[in-house]
Amino acid sequence: MDEHLVRLEASLWVGKKRFWAVLTGWHLNWTELDKKNRSKMTVSIPVSEVVSVEEGRVHVSPRRSISEDADREFTVFYVKRTSSRSSGGFLWSLGRTQFSCPSRGLRDQWVTQLRLALKTHSPSRPHRLLVFINPFGGKKQGRDIYQSLVAPLFELAGISCHVVVTERGNQARDHILKKDLTGFDGVICVGGDGMFSELLHGVIGRTQQEAGLSEHDPTLTLQSCDLHIGIIPAGSTDCVCFATMGVNDPVTSALHIIIGDSQPLDVCSVHYRSSLVRYAVSLVGYGFYGDVLAESEKHRWMGPLRYDYSGAMVYLSNRSYAGIVQYLPADPQLSNPRDNTRCLSGCSVCSKSTERLFPHSPNASSLYSSHFSQFGSDSEGKWVSVEGRFRAVSLTCMSSSCPRSPLGLSPSAHLADGTADLIIVRDTHPLGFLTFLHRHTTTQDQFDLPFVEVHRVKAVRFSLPPGAEDDEDEEAVKDGVLAEEDEAPIQSGSKQHLAGVTSYRRQKKKALCGLCCSKAPSVSVWNCDGELLPHTEILCRVHCQLVRLYARGIEDGLAPTSGICRERQGTCRGRCVLHN
| Residues labelled catalytic | 193
Tell me which amino acid residue 161 is: C
Other beta carbons within 10 angstroms of residue 43's beta carbon come to: 22
Could you give the CA distance from residue 73 to residue 322 in angstroms, rounded to a whole number? 71
Measured CA to CA in angstroms, residue 568 lies from 20, 29, 255, 488, 572 at distances of 17, 12, 25, 63, 8
Q: Tell whether omega for the bond before 218 is within 30 degrees of 0, i.e. cis.
A: no
Opening angle at CA 332, ends 558 and 218, nearest 5: 105
SS3 319: coil
Q: Would you say 205 and 195 are in contact if contact means Cβ atoms under 8 Å apart?
A: no
- What whole-number distance in Å separates Cα of residue 294 and Cα of residue 306? 11
* Angle (CA) 266 401 216, round 5°: 30
Cα angle value 77/152/144 (rounded, 5°)? 140
DSSP codes joined into one string, 104-152: HHHHHHHHHHHHHHHHHH-TT--SEEEEEE-TTSTTT-HHHHIIIIIHH
List residues bridging with 327 in a β-sheet. Answer: 384, 460
By the 10 Å C-beta count (0-12 exposed, 13-18 middle, 19+ buried), 546 is classed as: buried
**Cα 54 to chain center, whole Å?**
31
**Residue 402 DSSP label:** B
- Beta carbons of 426 and 451 less than 8 angstroms apart: yes
Distance CA 464, CA 524 (A): 11
Distance of alpha carbon 241 from alpha carbon 248, whole angstroms = 6
CA distances (Å), 252 to each of 32, 490, 571, in order? 28, 36, 25
Query: Using CA atoms, how far apart are residues 30 and 98, in angstroms rounded to an integer?
Result: 12
Query: Closest by alpha carbon to 49, among 111, 112, 118?
Result: 118
C-beta atoms surrounding 385 within 10 Å: 11
| Single-letter amino acid, residue 467 | G
Q: Is 547 within 8 Å of 226 (Cβ atoms)?
A: no
**DSSP-assigned states of every residue in 520-539:** --S---EEETTEE-S-SSEE
